[in-house]
Chains A and B, each alone.
Chain A
Amino acid sequence: MVTSAIPRAPTFSEIFSKRLYEIENGERLRTCLQCGSCSGVCPFGYLMDFPPGRMIAGLRADEFELVMETDTVWMCVACYACAQICPSKIPITAGLMTRTKEELLLAGNVPSELQSALENSQRYGNPMGESPRKRADWALGVQPPVTILGRERRPVDVLWFVGDYPSYHPRVQSVTKALARVLNALGISFGILGPEENSDGDTQRLAGERGLFEMLAEKNGRVFSRYQFNKIITSDPHAYNALKNEYPALGISYPVQHYTQFLAEKLDLLKPLLKQEISATVAYHDPCYLGRVNGVFDEPRALLGAIPGIKLIEMAHNHTTSLCCGGGGGGMWLDGFQWEKAHTRLSEWRVREAVDAGANILAVACPYEPPRFEDAAKMTQQAGSLVVKDIVELLAESLG
């Protein structure tokens, strides 16, 4: 008797694995050693039913639908700690975690807080649902006036991609104004897009909304193409990451720098202007998407080191091992959800480290961080006098 294999439909795990293999370095998933480093280093791994290592085990056991039944992947803050530590260099954050979120999102399984941030991003071009027409309102009263390219059609050297939180969040607006002040002090020719700017979309992408990311990127791409500039700078590491690593694949390619890189290149010009002494012990928090993901560690420290009076110290977790503030990968829009599961915030952990290290200023370089760390400091007993400042706020203060 001749028997032949009965063709069967591929299982969900098989389909999911196959699609993971298709992404850059996705095949490395096959080389997972099950060492568990990813699950151990994950700041919320201890709360997940399926931390990354077990997710891979679930895929291999053809039981990934069990992973999909849990919502613990929404604890992932896309901080890249797992991908960084993985000895097999598996793209865990960009591949496994993000694809799982995409799959959940397609199935309509989205925590409601995240849902409204995504709907707002689609409708208003920013996750907080603010009026797009007010995107440049932070610049009202800034002297000399900030050039909005749609109104003054002139070439500029630098296009400043301001970003969502720097445009709208009252705390972060003061960082934005400080950057305007430093750029003006250096005589930089710069302009912003104002109401024409849309969210960079990177965090929405890492929260599983790839289609939304592409829509936002295309809108920004069309606006970029209307104006003349030599490079883009931004104070937002997430926007920096998107513009540097993700937009080019969509045909939107411009030289881009985080403002710390841009200013560090001009340190010879900037340093003589930093006259005001700031007598403080400063710990610098490496933002995930500036440090771990894009390797920018030295420039922020060089800027802080140029401010007279500042004593720079390191916290226990620094450089590639920096702890996430909890805002990435959609964490910014899952505060209630994550609080319910964890009853702690990653930002509180970080603030305790800053206090333990003896810092009286926690310096940051990402717009998610001033509000997150300031809130955390209020929740942390020993952190009453800890001041949270973006590097550029300290630079502006030192200008006198």
Chain B
Amino acid sequence: MNIIVPVKLVPDLVEELSIDPAGTALDTAWLRMIVNEFDDHAIEQAILLKEKVGAHVTVISTNIEGVDDLLFTAAAKGADRLIKLTGDLEAGNNNHALAGELARIIREMNPDVILTGVQAHNDLDGSIGPQLAGHLGMPYIGYVAGVDVSGDNVIVRKEYPGGLIGEMQASLPAVFGIQAAEQPPRYVAISKVRQMMKTSNIEEFDLAALDSTGAPVVTRMFQPEVAERASMLSDNPDEAAGQLISLFKELGTL
């Protein structure tokens, strides 16, 4: 089975985010990138499938600082092939444009299963999974939390509100948006990752110019602003009670 796992790096929220001087994007000078949590689960699910039924796992990501670590860590977990996509990612790195390019590259790999994180916190124009499935003409199921493959059929589980679990069948090839792997992403010892840095190879694929037409345009990005509608009551209970009473009178409820 040939599994392709497109993943991406997203801003790490451990660091405080700042806005660039133009006021339309994050200031990348201080940005620290981390693997999208859902993508980390997609990698884990791919490795679990490999362990269960045997598979060849390819992990693909765009060339952003930190991508080599991401890919070597995936290799240490069991990924067989590592690909980074190079090209101009500055402008138009949106999911519509990227999905088209990814589809072009992935189609040639003859995938059986494509697993990707169901969403990322910096998706501005929808998640990549369904867009990819659209370009490839494959079925898509999102919010998946477990995948079983037998032959050309796959059964996936997804969770619904109220503790309901749904099982769905799809025929392969198919794209799945992973919400959670069947097990939490595993730990790999640093020595294994370092070993991968010496022994495994990251292939570089060129991205064609990304066509960002039709993408949403950010006109203003800003930190949450203090609104003026809230007024704070006094810490003193008596004063606060007095304030409340006059407030209720003012609003006509008393």
CB within 8 Å of B: which residues of A? 102, 105-106, 108, 110, 112, 115, 118-119, 122-124, 129-131, 133, 209-212, 214-215
Q: Looking at the assembled complex, report how far the CB atom of B13 sits from the nearest CB atom of chain A, in whole angstroms.
A: 10
Q: Looking at the assembled complex, report how far the CB atom of A281 sits from the nearest CB atom of chain B, in whole angstroms.
A: 39
Residue on A nearest B15 in the bound complex, by CB: A131
Contacts of A106 in B (CB 8 A): 189, 191-192
Asked if B187 and A211 make an inter-chain contact with CB atoms under 8 angstroms apart, the answer reads: no
Q: Looking at the assembled complex, report how far the CB atom of B141 sits from the nearest CB atom of chain A, in whole angstroms.
A: 27
Contacts of B14 in A (CB 8 A): 124, 129-131
Interface assignment of B34: CB less than 8 Å from any CB of chain A:
yes
Asked if B187 and A215 make an inter-chain contact with CB atoms under 8 angstroms apart, the answer reads: no
Docked Cα-Cα span, A211 to B196, in Å, equals 13
Docked Cα-Cα span, A123 to B193, in Å, equals 13
Q: Looking at the assembled complex, report how far the CB atom of B42 sits from the nearest CB atom of chain A, in whole angstroms.
A: 18
Contacts of A102 in B (CB 8 A): 189
Count of inter-chain pairs, beta carbons less than 8 A: 38
Interface assignment of B235: CB less than 8 Å from any CB of chain A:
no
Asked if B189 and A215 make an inter-chain contact with CB atoms under 8 angstroms apart, the answer reads: no
Residue on A nearest B190 in the bound complex, by CB: A211
Asked if B189 and A209 make an inter-chain contact with CB atoms under 8 angstroms apart, the answer reads: yes
Docked Cα-Cα span, A299 to B55, in Å, equals 61
Interface assignment of B135: CB less than 8 Å from any CB of chain A:
no
Top 5 A-B pairs, shortest CB-CB distance:
A211-B191, A211-B190, A115-B187, A212-B190, A110-B187
Asked if B187 and A108 make an inter-chain contact with CB atoms under 8 angstroms apart, the answer reads: yes
Docked Cα-Cα span, A122 to B34, in Å, equals 12
| CB proximity to A under 8 Å, residues B1-47 | 14-16, 30, 34
Interface assignment of B184: CB less than 8 Å from any CB of chain A:
yes
Residue on A nearest B186 in the bound complex, by CB: A108
CB within 8 Å of A: which residues of B? 14-16, 30, 34, 184, 186-194
Docked Cα-Cα span, A313 to B187, in Å, equals 45
Docked Cα-Cα span, A123 to B35, in Å, equals 11
Docked Cα-Cα span, A108 to B194, in Å, equals 16
Residue on B nearest A107 in the bound complex, by CB: B189
Docked Cα-Cα span, A130 to B15, in Å, equals 8
Q: Looking at the assembled complex, report how far the CB atom of A256 sits from the nearest CB atom of chain B, in whole angstroms.
A: 24
Residue on A nearest B12 in the bound complex, by CB: A123
Docked Cα-Cα span, A158 to B30, in Å, equals 30
Docked Cα-Cα span, A124 to B16, in Å, equals 14
Docked Cα-Cα span, A215 to B193, in Å, equals 11
Q: Looking at the assembled complex, report how far the CB atom of A214 sits from the nearest CB atom of chain B, in whole angstroms.
A: 8
Residue on A nearest B73 in the bound complex, by CB: A122
Docked Cα-Cα span, A65 to B102, in Å, equals 45
Docked Cα-Cα span, A123 to B190, in Å, equals 11
Docked Cα-Cα span, A323 to B16, in Å, equals 40
Task: Give the one of B14, B16, B188, B190 with max A CB within 10 A.
Answer: B190
Q: A112-B184, A129-B14 are in contact. Are A211 and B34 (CB under 8 A)?
A: no
Contacts of A212 in B (CB 8 A): 189-190
Q: Looking at the assembled complex, report how far the CB atom of A209 sits from the nearest CB atom of chain B, in whole angstroms.
A: 6
Docked Cα-Cα span, A54 to B16, in Å, equals 50
Docked Cα-Cα span, A102 to B190, in Å, equals 11
Asked if B194 and A211 make an inter-chain contact with CB atoms under 8 angstroms apart, the answer reads: yes
Residue on A nearest B193 in the bound complex, by CB: A211
Residue on A nearest B34 in the bound complex, by CB: A123
Contacts of A122 in B (CB 8 A): 190
Q: Looking at the assembled complex, report how far the CB atom of B78 sits from the nearest CB atom of chain A, in whole angstroms.
A: 10
Known: A108-B187, A119-B187, A212-B189. 10 other contacts (CB 8 A): A102-B189, A108-B188, A123-B34, A129-B14, A130-B14, A133-B15, A133-B30, A211-B190, A211-B192, A211-B193
Asked if A215 and B15 make an inter-chain contact with CB atoms under 8 angstroms apart, the answer reads: no
Asked if B191 and A210 make an inter-chain contact with CB atoms under 8 angstroms apart, the answer reads: yes
Q: Looking at the assembled complex, report how far the CB atom of A251 sits from the nearest CB atom of chain B, in whole angstroms.
A: 17
Q: Looking at the assembled complex, report how far the CB atom of A365 sits from the nearest CB atom of chain B, in whole angstroms.
A: 30
Residue on A nearest B77 in the bound complex, by CB: A108
Chain A to chain B contacts (Cβ below 8 Å), 9 pairs: A102-B189, A105-B187, A105-B189, A108-B187, A123-B34, A131-B14, A131-B15, A133-B30, A212-B190
Contacts of B184 in A (CB 8 A): 112
Q: Looking at the assembled complex, report how far the CB atom of A107 sits from the nearest CB atom of chain B, in whole angstroms.
A: 9
Residue on B nearest A208 in the bound complex, by CB: B189
Asked if A211 and B189 make an inter-chain contact with CB atoms under 8 angstroms apart, the answer reads: yes
Docked Cα-Cα span, A171 to B32, in Å, equals 28
Residue on B nearest A130 in the bound complex, by CB: B14
Docked Cα-Cα span, A129 to B12, in Å, equals 11
Q: Looking at the assembled complex, report how far the CB atom of B242 sits from the nearest CB atom of chain A, in whole angstroms.
A: 36
Q: Looking at the assembled complex, report how far the CB atom of B112 sits from the nearest CB atom of chain A, in whole angstroms.
A: 25
Asked if A215 and B190 make an inter-chain contact with CB atoms under 8 angstroms apart, the answer reads: yes
Contacts of B189 in A (CB 8 A): 102, 105-106, 209, 211-212
Contacts of A214 in B (CB 8 A): 190
Docked Cα-Cα span, A248 to B101, in Å, equals 50
Contacts of B186 in A (CB 8 A): 108
Contacts of A210 in B (CB 8 A): 191
Q: Looking at the assembled complex, report how far the CB atom of B231 sits from the nearest CB atom of chain A, in whole angstroms.
A: 31
Asked if A209 and B190 make an inter-chain contact with CB atoms under 8 angstroms apart, the answer reads: yes
Q: Looking at the assembled complex, report how far the CB atom of B76 sits from the nearest CB atom of chain A, in whole angstroms.
A: 10
Q: Looking at the assembled complex, report how far the CB atom of A202 sits from the nearest CB atom of chain B, in whole angstroms.
A: 15
Residue on A nearest B184 in the bound complex, by CB: A112
Contacts of B191 in A (CB 8 A): 106, 210-211
